[in-house]
Amino acid sequence: MVPEELPEWLKVYTKKISSMGIFDEKEANHVLVNEYLPGQGIMPHEDGPLFYPTVSTISLGSHTVLDFYSPLQDSTKEDGDLVSSSSSYESRYMCSVLLQPRSLILVRDDMYKVNLHGIAERKEDLVTDKIVNLDKCDDVSVGQTLTRSTRVSLTIRVMPKILKAKLLLGRKR
Ligand SMILES: O=C(O)CCC(=O)C(=O)O
Ligand SMILES: [Fe+2]
């Protein structure tokens, strides 16, 4: 991956978040911008080993609900094509976090490295007691239905390999 300078407006946020010390002494050098229309989501996944294992995401526009799932057990993985009921996302569902507009979420350690995260393809979200941060959210209570609008997320993280690429490019000049 060839590094590029971040736009100044984004640097305001990468610098502010990095100054909290969440990436050790490193500074965020990678921003993923995603747009979700109502009804759009992202399949449960891990972000992988390329990134420093703390990730920060700013939500803009709509709220959304980020769902967490436990990983497949090794025995299930060895089954190959045989998908047992214990491998369904339903059975692996752990909890959710409500991401309100203008909020920042930090995901780290096992929640990032071991478990999977995803956003369901829904136009509205029912607030349940599986949302673990309800006490931190304004004006939301269990049983309420929240209608999604367009959401833009800024996923701000550290990609250590970019630093190495920069060094290599520097050497060639
Ligand atoms: O939009 C979000 O909040 C999550 C995005 C995400 O998990 C990803 O792009 O890997
Ligand atoms: Fe992700």
Mean pLDDT (the chain, rounded) = 88
Cα-based distances in Å from 30 to 12, 80, 125, 146, 158:
13, 35, 30, 31, 6
Q: What total of structural domains would you count in the chain?
A: 1
Does the CB atom of residue 41 touch ligand 1 within 6 A?
no
- 168, part of any domain: no
- Domain span at residue 93 reads 8-71+89-157
- 124, part of any domain: yes
- 78, part of any domain: no
Please report, for the domain that includes residue 56, its CATH number: 2.60.120.1520
User: What is the spatial distance between Cα 25 and Cα 21, in angstroms, rounded to a whole number?
Assistant: 6
- ipTM exceeds 0.90, yes or no: yes
pTM summary value: 0.86
Does the CB atom of residue 56 touch ligand 1 within 6 A?
no
Protein residue closest via CA to atom 3 of ligand 1: 153
Ligand number nearest CA of 42 is 1
- Centre of ligand 1 to C-alpha 155, Å, is 7
Confidence at residue 57, expressed as pLDDT on a 0 to 100 scale:
97
Q: What percent of the chain has pLDDT over 90?
A: 70
Contact partners, residue 102, CB within 8 Å, separation at least 6: 58, 59, 60
- 13, part of any domain: yes
Asked if 148 and 124 touch (Cβ cutoff 8 Å), the reply is yes
pLDDT tens per residue across span 100-117:
999 999 999 899 889 999
3-state helix, strand and coil shares in percent for the chain, rounded to the nearest 5: 25, 30, 45
- 38, part of any domain: yes
- 80, part of any domain: no
Does the CB atom of residue 117 touch ligand 1 within 6 A?
yes
Helix (H) or strand (E) holding 74: helix 74-78
pLDDT tens per residue across span 21-55:
999 989 999 999 999 999 999 999 988 788 888 99
Q: Which of 117, 124, 128 is nearest to 149 (CA)?
A: 124
Does the CB atom of residue 153 touch ligand 1 within 6 A?
yes
Contact partners, residue 163, CB within 8 Å, separation at least 6: 29
- Centre of ligand 2 to C-alpha 171, Å, is 33
**Radius of gyration of the chain from its Cα atoms, rounded to whole angstroms:** 18
Which three-class secondary structure state does DSSP give residue 129? coil
